[in-house]
Amino acid sequence: MRSYKQYCSVARALDVVGDRWNLLIVRELLLREPLRYTDLQFGLPGIATNLLADRLRELEAAGVVEREAAPPPVATTVFRLTDWGKALRPVVTELGAWGAMLMAGSAEGCEFRSHWLTFPLGNFFRDKEPGSPPVTIELRTGDEPMLMEVTEGAVEAHAGRAEHADLVLAGPPRTVLGVLVGAIPIEEAGAEGLTYEGDPEVLGRLEHLPVSPS
Amino acid sequence: MRSYKQYCSVARALDVVGDRWNLLIVRELLLREPLRYTDLQFGLPGIATNLLADRLRELEAAGVVEREAAPPPVATTVFRLTDWGKALRPVVTELGAWGAMLMAGSAEGCEFRSHWLTFPLGNFFRDKEPGSPPVTIELRTGDEPMLMEVTEGAVEAHAGRAEHADLVLAGPPRTVLGVLVGAIPIEEAGAEGLTYEGDPEVLGRLEHLPVSPS
DNA sequence: CAGCATCCGCTTTGATACTG
DNA sequence: CAGTATCAAAGCGGATGCTG
């Protein structure tokens, strides 16, 4: 990207990460460091391969990303964020919070990856009953199952499958998310493709933090 | 901008504000609402006039910006942020914080506007001695004088000139900023174009919050 | 003058094909 | 797996012209 040539920290930040795709590359690395080139491609559907290569070079030159030759037996290059790159987490988090209300719109024609959920699930949910025993919710939507662990006031999300989940939600991403935030009552969600097993009452444990406008 | 077509709140946010210039337009409106078209042009040196018109239309259509016909005697259109647009403040603030360390680089060939300072001055400084009487610092750099009011633990910055400032700093933006953050001792700053009147001791009142890597 | 619209050359992006 | 190479299309920047 051409520099804005403004002596302003916002403009200078955008000189580095304001280019198309750059903040999404950072999102991927924040979620699942370290990543191989092909993992990045999978998490960034729509990016042209030459662009990904260009961007990684630029971000490396700027000191946001590091390239590392992974030792055998893997024997491949992996990409990580530098410390400065990791400091972009609040930027990506705030952008995600601001864009949260856009998730209510249609997901028609959009790609989806399960691991994108770790950001919103971990940041914008709380456990309403910190004293109660932990609860596990398994989400089956997208390319891999995800787990939400509701424990001691907080919510943690990561990829994985549970031995015994208290609730399993399966269906299209928009419906699963709608049920979690309480926008779609679980009894009515069947019409939008949701199926579930387990105890729907555990959804009462989730508190969804307000989204903008704040 | 083309949509990323990803069902992810970060990607959807960037579909709206990820275009070149968009977040800088938001920066201007966060700093000095409401603004006329020509005021925006002045605060966004380098933008092509057709692009500014395009972007304002797009941001208006997306619900980020509002256009208002100002009543006589002004009789012109002014632009504001909607409530949702104002909710971008944390995004711009975090970007500015992340880019802060880039301000140490050369300002050669860069444009500068005094009001851009209100963001960093207000957000990344604190008053070290909340109990002491208020202190006023006048900054003469860029297109208009700015005032820093150091009061009761906080720092406020805005355009203006003081009746009687405790300290007046004049010089190139990079030098003035360097002196404020403590990177350049005020005695050595003369070599970089700084002149001052008043009591340099008041700089001791300023605490500069740490910048990334955090 | 404020607030654009048009035109034009250049750069960036996207899609696909190909390579060590 | 981790990229290059190629090329068409879209976006951007700069200049200029129009309209109330």
When CB atoms are compared, the residue of B12, B103, B107 closest to A99 is: B12
* Helix ranges, A63-99 (H): 83-86, 89-99
pLDDT of the residue at B20: 96
Phi and psi torsions of B105, nearest 5°? -70, 170
Q: Does the beta carbon of B59 lie under 8 angstroms from any beta carbon of chain A?
A: no
Q: Which nucleotide is nearest to A70 (CA to C1')?
A: D1
Phi and psi torsions of B47, nearest 5°? -75, 140
Tokens of A29: 């690395």
Decide: residue A139, CB within 10 A, 0-12 exposed, 13-18 middle, 19+ buried: buried
Q: Please list every residue in chain A whose beta carbon sits closer than 8 Å to the beta carbon of residue B82.
A: 213
Does residue A212 register a pLDDT over 70?
no
Decide: residue A123, CB within 10 A, 0-12 exposed, 13-18 middle, 19+ buried: middle
CB of residue B2 closer than 7 A to nucleic acid strand C?
Answer: yes
DSSP state of A209: P
pLDDT of the residue at A129: 95
Which is nearest to A145 in space by CA: A163, A128, A125, A126? A163
Tokens of B97: 């914080």
Query: Of the given ranges (A67-71, A176-180, B51-55, B72-76), which has the lowest mean pLDDT?
Result: B72-76
Q: Please list every residue in chain A whose beta carbon sits closer than 8 Å to the beta carbon of residue B23.
A: 10, 14, 18
DSSP state of A29: H
Nearest 10 degrees: Cα torsion A86, B92, A46, A139: 70
The count of other CB atoms within 10 Å of the CB of residue A177 is: 24
β-sheet bridge partners, residue A181: none
Contact residues, A window 144-173, toward B, CB-based 8 Å cutoff: 173
**Cβ A46–B6 below 8 Å, yes or no?**
yes
CA distance linking residue A89 with residue B118, whole number of Å: 24
State how far residue B133 is from chain A, nearest Cα, in angstroms.
31
Enumerate residue ranges in chain B where pLDDT < 50.
214
pLDDT of the residue at B113: 97
pLDDT of the residue at B159: 95
CA distance linking residue A183 with residue B7, whole number of Å: 17
pLDDT digits (tens, 9 = 90+) for A122-148: 999 999 999 999 999 999 999 999 999
pLDDT of the residue at A143: 96
pLDDT of the residue at A214: 44
Which is nearest to B178 in space by CA: B201, B194, B202? B194
State how far residue A73 is from chain B, nearest Cα, in angstroms.
32
Q: Percent of chain A scored above 70 by pLDDT? A: 99
**Cβ A46–B5 below 8 Å, yes or no?**
yes
A214: amino acid identity, one letter: S
Tokens of B122: 């207000």
pLDDT of the residue at B213: 52
Q: Which residues contact B71 (CB under 8 A, 6 or more apart)?
A: none
DSSP-derived 3-state class of residue A123: helix
Mutation for A interface: B42, B98, B116, B141, most A CBs within 10 A: B98
Nearest 10 degrees: Cα torsion A166, A168, A174, A180: -10
**Cβ A213–B83 below 8 Å, yes or no?**
yes
pLDDT of the residue at A28: 98
The count of other CB atoms within 10 Å of the CB of residue A163 is: 5
Name the closest residue on chain A to residue B213, using Cα atoms: A84
pLDDT of the residue at A210: 76
Instruction: State the average pLDDT for chain A.
Output: 94
Q: Percent of chain A scored above 90 by pLDDT? A: 91
Q: Does the beta carbon of A106 lie under 8 angstroms from any beta carbon of chain B?
A: no
Of B177 and A70, which is predicted with more confidence? B177
A69 pLDDT band, cuts 50/70/90, is confident
CB of residue A51 closer than 7 A to nucleic acid strand D?
Answer: no
Q: Please list every residue in chain B whose beta carbon sits closer than 8 Å to the beta carbon of residue A103.
A: 7, 9, 12
When CB atoms are compared, the residue of B46, B82, B87 closest to A5 is: B46
